[in-house]
Structure 1
Amino acid sequence: MPAFIAETRPRAHGAGLDLYEYDRVTGALGSLRDWPAAFGAVGRRYAAEAGIAAAQGRTVTAGGAYRSAARWFHAAGLMPHPDRAGAARLAAEADEAMRQSLALLEPEAARVEGEGFAGWLRRPAESGGPVVLIVPGMDSSKEEFHALADALLARGIAVLAIDGPGQGVLAATSAPEPDYHRVVGRALDALAAHDGLDLGRTAVVGLSLGGYYAAMAAAHEPRLRAAVAVSGPYRLDWADLVPFVTETLGQRCGGPEAARAFADRLDLTGLAPTITLPLLVVEGGEDRIPGVTNATVLAEHAPNAELLLVPHGNHLLGTALPDWLPATADWLAARLAR
C-alpha cells in the first residue's frame, strides 16, 4: 500500500489535488480496497459545499468546489477495484461535477459526444482560434488534466477533453480501442457543428496510454497539424507488465485474454516512420514501468519529431510540471499559429 500511495502522489499533484489533503486521506486508509470509498467521500463533500455556495450566489467558490469534486471522483477510480459498478458511479459523478463547474464558470462550454467518445469543449476568451483534443490514458479520464487544458486556454486555444472507449464515463460500456485514430476522427467531425473554431488548425495531446493514441492519430488523421505524446508507450510486452497494469487492462478490456490481445497490438515500430507531422514527445527520465518501452524511441524514428526529456520527471511528469507544461503549451501554440 505505501508504494502505491507514494507512486500516485505526483499524479495527484498533476491532477490538481491538494497534497496535504491527499496525505490525510491516504494516511487513514486501512487497505487499498478502501481507496474508492475514501476518495469518493471527499468528492461528495466538495460537491455538497459547492451546492451550498451556489445556492448563496457564491458562483466562483461553487464552481471551484465542483471542479475539486470532479478531481477527487476521478482519483477515486484509479484503483483496479473489483466493484466495477462502483467505479462507473464514480466516473458519472466526476462527469456531473465537471458539468456543474463549467455551467457556473464557463457557460459557453459545450458537451461534444458521438460514437465512442464524450467530452467537454472549452473556449478561450476570443473565438476563431485553433482547437486541441486532450486524450487520457489507460485508467484516466477527461477530468484529470485540468492544468494542461488551462495552459492551452490561456494561449488562445480551445480544448476538447474527451473520454474514449474504455475511459471515464464510457469505461462501463466499452473496451479500450487500439485504433483510437477513428475516435479522434469522429471527435473532429463533431466539432464541425460548433461555431467559432478554426478546424484548419487542430492538434491532439495524449497522456500515458493516450500518448500512443495520439501517435496513432498523428499517423492516420490528415486534419491534424501537430501532435504531442506525454509519457506514452512505444510498445508493450505483456509478460513483463506489472500487476497494476495487467489488472487494470483486464478489467477494462473484459478479461485477461482480451487485455493481452489489446496489449499485443500496441506497437509503433512499423508506424513511427509514417508520422510526418510535427510531433513532440515528452518523457520523464525516471519513468520506468516494466513491460513498457517508452516513446523516446518514437522520437528517434518519426521524421519530424522532437524530444523533450526531463531527467527528474516521472510517469506523467507530475514531479516536474514547470519543466514541461509551459514549454509544451508554447510548442502547440507555435505549431497552430496562423
Structure 2
Amino acid sequence: MTDHLPFLSAPGMAAGFTAETRPRAHGAGIDLYEYDRVTASLESLLQWPDACRAAAIRHRAAAEQAAARGRIRTAGERHRLAARWFHLAALIPDPDRARAEDNERESDRSMEQALALLEPRARRLSGDGFTGWLRTPTGVNAEGKRFPVAVVIPGMDSAKEEFHALADTLLARGLAVLAIDGPGQGVFATTSALNAADHRRAVSQALDALEETAGTWEVDLDLGRIAVVGLSMGGYLAAAVAAHDSRIRAAALISGPYRLEWDAFVPFVTATLTQRCGSPTAARAFADSVDLAALAPRLHCPLLLVEGGEDRIPGVTNAEALAADLPHAEVLHVPHGNHLLGNAQSDWLPDTADWLADALLTA
C-alpha cells in the first residue's frame, strides 16, 4: 500500500510537514496548542490521518454532549472544529484512498451539523460535479438587503471546510459566501479528477443553480454582483472561471500559481496532484496547462493578487510577471507571508475582504 509513496515514511518528513502545515492549520481556525499536541508524537506521515481523525472525533463527541445539554452554540462550534480536523486528516496523499474518502465525507457531515446549529439559513447547493454551502450575513443590519455573492474556490488539496476565516470576514462585510468543492476536491477527491475545464464548468453550473433557486430562499441575492476567490491552486481555477464566465464581476487570487513546472515539484506535490488528477499523465498535463498569462487577454474584471514573500511553492504568483501580463490587476504583497499567508492573516485578510466588498457593493 505504501511502496509507491516511500517519502511519506522518510526520516524527518513528518516533522517537516507538521511545521509547514502549522500556519495553514492556524489559518483554518485550528488552535495551535491543540495542533502541537496532536502532531507532537508523529514519527511518520502515515500516522497523520489517524491522529487528525482522532482529534475530529473528540470534537464531535464534545459537540454531541453539548447538544444533549442544550448548549447549541458550543455544539455548533465543536462540530465546526471536527470538520476542520477531518479535513486536515485528508491533506496528505494518503495511499489508503478509502480512508481519505471517509475523512472528507465526515468533514462534510460535521460542517452540515455545525451550520444546522449555528446558521440555520445556510443552504446546501449541489449539482453535476460540485457541492457547497451558501451562507448569508445575519443580524439586524442584514434584514431586507440584497447580498452580492463571493464564491470561494479551494485548491489542489483543499476543500470547502478549510477557509472559515475568509468566509466569516466576507459575511461580516455584507457578502453572501458560496464555498464549494469541485471535481477532484473535498467530497469528490477520490471519485472525480481535478481538471481545469471540468472545474470551470462546475462553477458555472453552481452559478446557474444559484439563479434557478434564489427565489426559493428567504434571503435575496444580488446575482448581478458575483466575485470568485481562489486559494492556492484555486487561484488559477478562479481565474479560469473569471476568464470564461461574464457573470464574474471581480476576482481575488490568493497564493495562486502563475505557471507550474512539473520537474520543480517535490514528491509530496507530485503524489498529491497525481491522486487528484487520476494518473501521472493527467497530472502532468494539468500542470503544463496552468498558465495565467494565457488567460490574461480574457481577464477584464477587477483583479486582486495576494502573495506572500516567503511562499516557497514553485510557480506561485510573482508580482513582476503579473504586472506585465495583467497591468490592471492590484497586487497585495506581504513580504513575510508564506503560502496561503496563514502566518500573516491580519496583513491580508481584512484588506482583501474590503477590496471584494468595494468591488461588489460599490460597482
Which category of TM-score, normalised to the shorter sequence, fits these structures? Answer: over 0.9
> What are the residue-to-residue correspondences of 1:134-213 with 2, within 5 Å?
134-179=152-197, 180-192=199-211, 193-195=213-215, 196-213=220-237
SS in 2 for 1:85: helix
Query: Closer, same or farther in 2 for the Cα pair 1:168/1:284, shift >3 Å?
Result: same
Moved over 6 A (4+): none
Query: Closer, same or farther in 2 for the Cα pair 1:105/1:113, shift >3 Å?
Result: same
Query: Closer, same or farther in 2 for the Cα pair 1:41/1:185, shift >3 Å?
Result: same
Displacement of 1:73 after TM fit?
0.5
Query: Closer, same or farther in 2 for the Cα pair 1:293/1:99, shift >3 Å?
Result: closer
Displacement of 1:270 after TM fit?
2.0
Which runs of 5 or more residues in structure 2 are unaligned?
1-13
Amino acid at match of 2:17: F
Partner of 1:90: 103
| Distance in 1 (alpha carbons) for counterparts of 2:280 and 2:205 | 29
1:140-193 Cα offsets, whole Å, 9 max, x none, are: 000000000000000110000000000000112100021232222111111111
Q: In 2, are the aligned partners of 1:39 and 1:73 still within 8 Å (CA)?
A: yes
RMSD: 1.1
When the two structures are aligned, how many residues end up with a matched partner?
Answer: 337
SS in 1 for 2:196: coil
Which runs of 5 or more residues in structure 1 are unaligned?
none
SS in 1 for 2:22: helix
Q: In 1, are the aligned partners of 2:149 and 2:226 still within 8 Å (CA)?
A: yes
> What are the residue-to-residue correspondences of 1:121-132 with 2, within 5 Å?
121-125=134-138, 126=142, 127-132=145-150
SS in 2 for 1:234: coil
Partner of 1:245: 269
Q: In 1, are the aligned partners of 2:149 and 2:225 still within 8 Å (CA)?
A: yes
SS in 2 for 1:187: helix
| Distance in 2 (alpha carbons) for counterparts of 1:78 and 1:269 | 29
| Distance in 1 (alpha carbons) for counterparts of 2:223 and 2:278 | 36
Q: Select 1:56's aligned residue among 56, 63, 69.
A: 69
| Distance in 1 (alpha carbons) for counterparts of 2:172 and 2:21 | 27
SS in 2 for 1:204: strand
Q: Percentage identity across aligned positions?
A: 63
Amino acid at match of 2:208: D
| Distance in 1 (alpha carbons) for counterparts of 2:44 and 2:85 | 18
Q: In 1, are the aligned partners of 2:243 and 2:295 still within 8 Å (CA)?
A: yes
| Distance in 2 (alpha carbons) for counterparts of 1:318 and 1:305 | 23
Partner of 1:325: 349
Normalised by the size of structure 1, how large is the TM-score?
Answer: 0.97
Partner of 1:254: 278
| Distance in 1 (alpha carbons) for counterparts of 2:63 and 2:326 | 46
Displacement of 1:3 after TM fit?
1.2
> What are the residue-to-residue correspondences of 1:17-32 with 2, within 5 Å?
17-32=30-45
Normalised by the size of structure 2, how large is the TM-score?
Answer: 0.91
